[in-house]
Amino acid sequence: EPEVTQTPSHQVTQMGQEVILRCVPISNHLYFYWYRQILGQKVEFLVSFYNNEISEKSEIFDDQFSVERPDGSNFTLKIRSTKLEDSAMYFCASSGGGPSRNTIYFGEGSWLTVV
């Protein structure tokens, strides 16, 4: 069964450093997403990406965040200057086109710890 893959599975970084989280969505999917889950809290939507541009972003997704699909297979989330409160599990997700776009598949997540 095709799956969304994410790297790294866990990253520890110092406050103020830049972090890039990588994702390979399911092949042939057209919609891409990032969600995050702070420990003990609900899963929150960050951003959706379609046709090489952001289609929607949440209030959490401020100027320190950016997304990119650099080569047609990878989908990355960059956090420019990490803060302690960015510590969370970050989930990449994807969905297909047409009616399939409503069924979203998630990756295993990338744990980010900011110290």
Partner 1 sequence: AQSVTQLDSQVPVFEEAPVELRCNYSSSVSVYLFWYVQYPNQGLQLLLKYLSGSTLVKGINGFEAEFNKSQTSFHLRKPSVHISDTAEYFCAVSDYGGATNKLIFGTGTLLAVQP
Position 56 contacts partner 1 (CB under 8 A): yes
Query: Do the bridges between strand 43-50 and strand 19-24 make them parallel or antiparallel, or are there none, so unpaired?
Result: unpaired
Amino acid of residue 67:
V
Q: Cα–Cα distance between 114 and 104 in angstroms, integer? A: 28
Residues in 60-99 at the binding interface with partner 1, rule: CB under 8 A? 91, 95, 99
Part of the chain binding partner 1 (CB under 8 A), chosen from 14-22, 28-36, 69-77, 78-86: 28-36
Position 52 contacts partner 1 (CB under 8 A): no
Among 55, 64, 73, 81, binds partner 1 (CB under 8 A): 55
Task: For residue 50, give the nearest of 98, 2, 1 by alpha carbon.
Answer: 98
